[in-house]
Structure 1
Amino acid sequence: MGNEFTTVIQVSKQFLSSEEIKQSQESSLMKDQQYQNYVSKKQEVMRFLRFLIIRLKFPIRVLQVTSYLFQRFFLFNSFRKYSSYSHEIAVTCLFLSIKMNDCIRKSRDLILVAHDIRLSPPLNSDEVVKDESDLTHILAENKVDEQRKKVLYFERLILECIAFDFRHNNIEDYLIKFSKTLSLHPQVGYISWLVSVDAMMTEVILKQSPHVIALSSIVLAKLLYPEIFTDKMVITELDSLDLKYSRFQCERSQIYESVNEMMEFYMSKNQLANSFLFDFLPKDLKFNDLVINLKLELPNHFDIPPNKRKAEATINKDDLFYKERDYEIGKAGTILFVYNND
């Protein structure tokens, strides 16, 4: 493809439909039958990122952009080709995310701590915090330089992959505003926040804008709370909660799709190991069974007929946007990166 074009226009598209994601994965994952390997590796990387963010004392909001960039990269790049560099790509995504969230740290710090975590993976979040006063002994300086070069290399690929589109809004900001508007009980607000953090590790962040994810997290927290806790006063407050989606510039279908996908995350026992919400819940709770039962009733909560299916949008399969990225174009020709109106 690099020899066929001298000038290419690459449009930035922040959020994609399920059909568009599936079409993009045809090139990056499906053609090599790598999808299950990718899912497994993504779970491993998200756990690694969780520990890395906690260890470096970054605000959890940096996980949102980090996860978005990581998943976005493997939408448009061959997993078979780059799977062995998954952790280096994850560190690069985190490096970009902290710059976009004004939490500046040197790449050297990230590389050293990331290497230490990979050498001695913590069993849980309580084991993460360590003294960072001296990590220089764990990796020789020439190895640090090698890793830094990899970070710079993948940084360029990721920036081209997102068309240098740095626009982003934090889910957390919307969640705080919505919680205040709805006068949510603090415990329900906290559960909503935990759900929103878990949502950052799913494909929801590739599909929906932050305000939709924030409201979806509140909706899911509202469904979960009465099944887990017995505080009648809070449950009564939730029953009277007026969730008019249009009031928050959201569509019913968007909330339904987001909540449905978040529930699928909780239905996977492997993914529960990464869940912030699951760590908060009572240990004897059969959470997996609870979510399965709620998911079966989900269409009723949204007044959606069981047999009603969303019509799939028509996608031009020959559109280069959905193809694997060719980074050789920029070496011999020109790429014009253009923002869209999402």
Structure 2
Amino acid sequence: MSKEATPGTLDNGKSPSAPGTASTTTSITQVSRPFFTLQELSYLHSQTIPSTLKLQYAGTKQQIYQFLNQVVKILKYPIRVLATTMNYYQRFYLFNKFDVATSSMQIENSPYTIAISCLFLASKVEDCIKKLKDIQQVCNKLRDINENTLVESNGSGVPFIDLQRRIILNTEFKLLQITKFDFNLGNNPSFAINVDDLLIQFCKNLGINYKISMLCWLINYDIIQTPLSLVVPPHSIALAIIIIALSLNPKEMNLQHHEIGEDDEQEITKIKKILSELDCNDFQCPEVLVNEAILYILDYYTHQYDNSILQDYLPPIDQVTGKNQIFKFLDLKQKFNDVEILNEKSCNFKLNEKDGYLQNWDYGVATKGLVRFMLSNKRSRFNNEQETKENKEQDGKRQKLAEY
């Protein structure tokens, strides 16, 4: 968070043309930061989620994901709305304390209220707008809540749905401040920014068959509930998913439809060729970011495969290896262990403590007209990481020359 004087003001915050009674408060400029490092996420969670509630947070997030999944199906939203909702939900708890709801009638600070607020904002961002009342009715019906029940607010009884609406709108305003009004999350608004659409485009361009394309889609469906979208841009996530799917290439999948000849020797050879010739630069994806996404996804499945959606579509025992499916992910993870990923020297714990952006944000500042939100025109995190890496390589070359 950087503080600077508003253009046209003096050092003391007064406008040259303003009377002597003008406010002396300087404005605050906040530049959006759509992506974080894993170390930054860990630092932020240490500020908002007590160690005693870590497991509770993970379990609640899983419940929220299943809940939102049902809501999205009922409202007939596309998958991108669910993805954006989960991005907002996880982003919210980077800057706000996580509280456990004591009852289903609790509204304020309830994870379900936060989730509904995120869904409402995501539906507008993804151009799938529905009335808030319609969203509330679906969500409350799934939770078996009587909307007309009177709940206490400021010493008087208010219908549950009215108080819920008020708190949802307040939470939405907080979300807008957290995202710094960056509705594209750091991406160019001129092209598709969700992983779902990018997967379809990439698979078509590469000529990937139906089975592998469905495998990509299922992996993406699992990854939506993880914080990977807070770390890596969507195009790099999409390419990482494709690389993993091509590497797995299961012989059997429990799908309703199958493409003729998808398991032929010729098709297997074609898949191997696509994988060997795949170049991240062809898709404008930095290789280090793709590698980071690959390792994260493989790590997720090695720990959460039994709870994943993918396990419903793959046989328990792999037909080729004769082992449990999880061993394929372990073997694949071992192959990718030596790939180059971004280091985090530019955002160590001490630097995070000094980073104003990662400090507690006063939501009341925006209501007083003292803050300006700006979109970031570059991914400073990636630039800093890359600069650190290049400096390290140059130092290594100099050392070798000196030894020689």
Q: TM-score, normalised by structure 2?
A: 0.70
Runs of 4+ residues over 4 Å off in structure 1: 81-84, 227-230, 283-289
Q: State the shift of 1:74 in Å.
A: 0.4
Greater fraction of residues in helix: 1
1:72-98 deviation digits (Å, cap 9, x = unpaired): 000111113889510111111111111
8 Å contact kept, 1:10–1:163: yes
| Paired residues for 1:199-278 under 5 Å | 199-226=223-250, 228=252, 231-233=263-265, 234-241=267-274, 242-269=277-304, 272-273=306-307, 275-278=308-311
Q: Give the secondary structure class of the aligned counterpart of 2:345.
A: coil
In structure 2, how many angstroms separate the alpha carbons of the residues matched to 1:139 and 1:311?
48
8 Å contact kept, 1:267–1:291: yes
In structure 2, how many angstroms separate the alpha carbons of the residues matched to 1:276 and 1:11?
37
Q: Percent identity?
A: 29
The structure showing larger relative contact order (alpha-carbon pairs under 8 Å, at least 6 residues apart) is: 1
| Structure 2 partner of 1:113 | 138
CA change 1:252–1:309 in 2 (3 A) is closer
CA-based RMSD of the aligned residues comes to 3.0
Q: How many aligned positions are there? A: 317
CA change 1:247–1:188 in 2 (3 A) is same
1:143-168 deviation digits (Å, cap 9, x = unpaired): 22121112101101111111111115
What letter is aligned with 1:118? R
CA change 1:309–1:251 in 2 (3 A) is closer
CA change 1:193–1:35 in 2 (3 A) is same
| Structure 1 partner of 2:175 | 158
CA change 1:291–1:251 in 2 (3 A) is farther
| Structure 2 partner of 1:12 | 32
What letter is aligned with 2:227? E
Q: Give the secondary structure class of the aligned counterpart of 2:372.
A: strand
In structure 1, how many angstroms separate the alpha carbons of the residues matched to 2:354 and 2:338?
37
Q: State the shift of 1:296 in Å.
A: 4.3
In structure 2, how many angstroms separate the alpha carbons of the residues matched to 1:167 and 1:20?
21
In structure 2, how many angstroms separate the alpha carbons of the residues matched to 1:119 and 1:259?
40
Residue 172 (str. 1) matches residue 196 (str. 2):
yes
Q: State the shift of 1:247 in Å.
A: 1.2
Q: Unpaired segments of 5 or more residues in structure 2?
A: 1-24, 102-107, 150-158, 186-192, 254-261, 380-404
1:320 equivalent among 328, 342, 356: 356
What letter is aligned with 1:140? N
CA change 1:172–1:309 in 2 (3 A) is closer
In structure 2, how many angstroms separate the alpha carbons of the residues matched to 1:339 and 1:309?
24
Q: TM-score, normalised by structure 1?
A: 0.82
In structure 2, how many angstroms separate the alpha carbons of the residues matched to 1:285 and 1:51?
31
| Structure 2 partner of 1:21 | 41
8 Å contact kept, 1:73–1:161: yes
Q: State the shift of 1:321 in Å.
A: 0.9
Q: State the shift of 1:190 in Å.
A: 1.3
Q: State the shift of 1:284 in Å.
A: 6.5
| Paired residues for 1:1-342 under 5 Å | 7-30=27-50, 33-80=52-99, 84-119=109-144, 138-140=146-148, 142-168=159-185, 169-226=193-250, 228=252, 231-233=263-265, 234-241=267-274, 242-269=277-304, 272-273=306-307, 275-282=308-315, 289-301=324-336, 304=339, 310=343, 312-315=345-348, 316=351, 317-331=353-367, 334-341=370-377, 342=379
User: Which of these two proteins has the greater Rg computed from alpha carbons?
Assistant: 2
